[in-house]
A and B are shown apart, each in its own frame.
Chain A
C-alpha cells in the first residue's frame, strides 16, 4: 500500500520515560560479565527505563498528554480523535482508547480506537491519524505509542532483556498544509518470529503454558512471554528495509541527498548500522539514540527525535523519512515534514 495524504501537519511530538533506570550491569546475576560487555558493545544499549509495575502504558500516555496539552495550551475540546498503537493494553475488553477519552476530558464525539502494533507502530499511528484528518473525520488527533514491554520478558531472556526498554510518545496530527506519503507492507508468514503465544483465545494461559519448552536446538521458549527470533528479524530487516526506503523515496519524489533525516526504528545499534550502510547515508542523517533507553518499539522513532532534536536544523526536518519494521511481520515508511513541529525534550514520570 502506498498513498499520499494532504492537508496535514504534525505540530507537537512529546515523549516520556519511566523514572526507573535499569543498567545492563544489573543482569550480572543472570549472565556473565563477558556476555554483558559483548551485548552492550553490539547493541549500543547501556541502560533502559522500566515502567512502574503498578502502571500501564495508558497511565504514561495520560501523564504525557496532560503535560503536552498544558505546554501546547490546548483544551480537551481541541481534540476529536485518539489513535492508540500498542501491545500492552489495560484490558482485553474494553479498549483503553475510550477510557483515555474520558480521562483527558475529550468530547464525546471523539473517535477513539486501539491498533495492535509494536515496532511499526509509529508509522501506523501517524498513517491512521492522517487518514482521519485528511478525510475530514477529525480536526486534531492524539496518537499514543509505546509499551510496557519489559514486563512481557522472562527474567532469563538475555537477548530481549538487554535490548528492550519502556518508553512512550504522544504525537498530535492536525489539519495543515503538508502532504505526507506512506508505504506499508505486511508479511504474516513470519508472525511467529515475534510473539507472545499464550494468553489469547487461540492458546489461553494454563498450567501447561507456564512451563518452559526446550526446542531441538536446546533453546528455551516460554509461551507466556515475548519470544523473538533475533536472526529471523535481522534477516527480515536487512532484506526488506533498504528496498522499501528506496521505493518510498521514488514514490514521494525525494532525492536521497535532499532528505534531512532518516528516522529509523531504533531496533539495535548493529542492525541500524547495517541498514545505514546499505541505504548509503551518513550517520548524521540516520541517528542512533538508544544508549540509555534501548529499543522502545512503537515509540523509538519519536524518542529518538526527542533525544536528538537539538542536533537537527529546521531545514533538515523539512524532509524526514521515518521507517518502522518488526512485529507482524510488518514494515512501513512515512515521509513527513517536521520543520514546524515542536519536539519536546523527553519527560520522566
Chain B
C-alpha cells in the first residue's frame, strides 16, 4: 500500500466516506463527518497510518486533505 492509499484510508476510516469525496479541497466542516470529533479521529488515524506523533500546531493547521499532505512532508512522509 503506497502512502497516498494509506492517507486516503485514514480519511475513509475516520469519516466513513467513499473515495469519490476525497479531493485536495476536502476541508474541515465541509462535510458533516469532519467536525471536531471527526478531526480527532482523523488525526489518530493519520498518526497510526504513518507511525508518527503530530505536533499540536500541525493538528490545528490540518484543515484540508491537501494541507495535510504538506504537513506530512515535515514528518518525512511523501504523498
Q: Which residues of B contact A217 (CB under 8 A)?
A: 29
Contact in complex: B36, A239 (CB < 8 Å): no
| Shortest Cβ distance from residue A27 to the other chain B in the assembled complex, whole angstroms | 14
Q: Which residues of B contact A38 (CB under 8 A)?
A: 16, 33, 37-38, 41
Q: Does A274 contact B (CB under 8 A)?
A: yes
Q: Is B53 close to A, CB under 8 A?
A: yes
Residue-wise interface mask of A (233-251) relative to B, using a CB-CB cutoff of 8 A (1 in contact, 0 not): 0110011000000000000
B41 near A42 with CB under 8 A, answer yes
A271 at the interface (CB under 8 A from B): yes
- Contact among A231, A273, A277, A278 for B36, CB-based, below 8 A: A231
Kindly identify, within residues 27 to 44 of chain B, every residue whose CB is under 8 Å from any CB belonging to chain A: 28-29, 32-33, 35-41, 43-44
Q: Is the CB of B37 within 8 A of A278?
A: no
Q: Write out the residue numbers on chain A whose beta carbons fall within 8 Å of the beta carbon of B16.
A: 34, 38
Which residues of chain B (45-79) have a CB below 8 Å from chain A? 47, 53, 56, 59-60
Q: Kindly state the separation between the CA atoms of A234 and B47 in the bound complex, as whole angstroms.
A: 16
Contact between A234 and B36 (Cβ–Cβ < 8 Å)?
yes
Min CB distance A267 to B, Å, is 11
State the total of A-B contacts with C-beta under 8 angstroms: 47
Judge whether A270 is part of the interface by a CB distance below 8 angstroms. Answer: yes
**A239 and B56 in contact (CB under 8 A), knowing A159-B35, A231-B36, A234-B36?**
yes
Do A270 and B41 touch across chains, with their CB atoms under 8 A apart? yes
Q: Which residues of A contact B60 (CB under 8 A)?
A: 235
Distance from B66 Cβ to chain A, minimum over Cβ atoms (Å): 19
B56 & A270 in contact (Cβ 8 Å cutoff): no
Chain A residues numbered 16-47 whose CB sits less than 8 Å from any CB in chain B = 34-35, 38-39, 41-43
A230 within 8 A of B: yes
Residue in B closest to A235 when the chains form the complex, CB atoms: B60
Q: Are A159 and B36 in contact (CB under 8 A)?
A: yes
Which A residues lie at the B interface, using CB under 8 A? 34-35, 38-39, 41-43, 159, 217, 229-231, 234-235, 238-239, 270-271, 273-274, 277-278
Measured CB to CB, the residues of B under 8 A from A are 16, 28-29, 32-33, 35-41, 43-44, 47, 53, 56, 59-60
> Beyond A38-B38, A239-B56: 8 further Cβ-contacts under 8 Å?
A38-B33, A42-B38, A159-B35, A231-B36, A234-B39, A238-B56, A270-B44, A274-B43
5 tightest A-B contacts by CB?
A: A230-B36, A270-B40, A231-B36, A238-B56, A239-B56
21 A-B pairs with CB atoms under 8 Å apart are: A34-B16, A42-B40, A159-B35, A217-B29, A229-B36, A230-B35, A230-B36, A230-B37, A231-B28, A231-B39, A234-B36, A234-B39, A234-B40, A235-B56, A270-B37, A270-B40, A271-B40, A273-B44, A274-B44, A277-B47, A278-B53
